[in-house]
Chains A and B, each alone.
Chain A
Amino acid sequence: SQQGEEDPQALSIQEGENATMNCSYKTSINNLQWYRQNSGRGLVHLILIRSNEREKHSGRLRVTLDTSKKSSSLLITASRAADTASYFCATEPYNNNDMRFGAGTRLTVKP
């Protein structure tokens, strides 16, 4: 069964705008990861945030984690056409090493 649920299912923005995607999950976790998938490069890891962390940055990416609300958000700033892809959150449940992926957010960045 899938643990995370991304919101929205699809998002379309103009190049240069910011994109925010949300992930909600159901059970306590050890960590949460965000992945990107496009036809050219397959599924690629973006960022990992541990359960005791609240925010992480990597280049134009900013991830937040609120364990009290069981939710995370991924912000992509100054988006580019190359950011067009599906974005998935994956959670590792507490005391369990298997990763559970959500259904993803399909992001389209228009040039």
Chain B
Amino acid sequence: EAGVAQSPRYKIIEKRQSVAFWCNPISGHATLYWYQQILGQGPKLLIQFQNNGVVDDSQLPKDRFSAERLKGVDSTLKIQPAKLEDSAVYLCASSLEPGVYEQYFGPGTRLTVT
């Protein structure tokens, strides 16, 4: 079974530039999550989708971050404009349904903002 795919794996940009990350969840998984993990910390949930609808985006900095999940499958996360403090690993995860099902994580995208 193919896992969660993410691209790119690494990205270096200058502050005030924009960047986009892509995620393809496990086939059949209705729930998709984007997390931000800063070095030395645990993952922080940014946004959760159920199919193509947003379930929770309470921790998403909406002035600069946006995310979409068209057709309830792939998802993109965008940052515009980027700040130095956005340097982190961005993890995508998926699960069959929200709640009692385990989440499967992708390898992440390591973003460095200079």
Which chain A residues have a beta carbon within 8 Å of chain B's beta carbons? 1-2, 4, 30-31, 33, 42-45, 48, 50, 88, 90, 92, 96-104
Question: B98 in the interface, Cβ–Cβ < 8 Å?
Answer: yes
Question: CB-CB < 8 A to B100: which residues of A?
Answer: 30-31, 48, 50, 92
Cβ–Cβ contact B45 & A100, under 8 A: yes
* B97: nearest chain-A partner, CB-CB: A97
A42 x B48 contact (CB < 8 A): no
Are A42 and B44 in contact, with the CB atoms below 8 A?
no
**Does A45 contact B102, Cβ atoms closer than 8 Å?**
yes
**Which residues of the other chain, A, contact B108 by a CB distance below 8 angstroms?**
42
Given contacts A97-B55, A102-B42, contact A42 B103 (CB under 8 A): no
Q: Determine whether the beta carbon of B45 is less than 8 Å from that of A98.
A: yes
B79 within 8 A of A: no
Interface residues on B, range: 20 to 34
- Report 13 cross-chain contacts, Cβ distance below 8 Å, ordered by A residue: A1-B59, A31-B99, A43-B43, A43-B93, A48-B102, A92-B99, A97-B55, A97-B56, A97-B98, A98-B56, A99-B103, A100-B45, A103-B41
In the bound complex, residues from chain B placing their C-beta under 8 Å from that of A48 are 100, 102
A79 to chain B, nearest CB (A): 22
With a cutoff of 8 Å between Cβ atoms, the chain A residues found around residue B93 in the complex are: 43
Q: How far is the CB of A47 from chain B (nearest CB, A)?
A: 9
Contacting A at CB under 8 A, from B59-114, are 59, 91, 93, 98-100, 102-108
Q: Which 8 A-B pairs have the closest CB atoms?
A: A101-B42, A97-B98, A45-B102, A43-B105, A98-B56, A101-B43, A103-B42, A88-B42
Question: Shortest Cβ distance from A92 into chain B, in angstroms?
Answer: 6
Q: What is the bound-complex CA distance between A80 and B26, given in angstroms?
A: 30
A102 and B30 CA atoms in complex are apart in Å by: 25
Q: Which residues of B contact A96 (CB under 8 A)?
A: 56
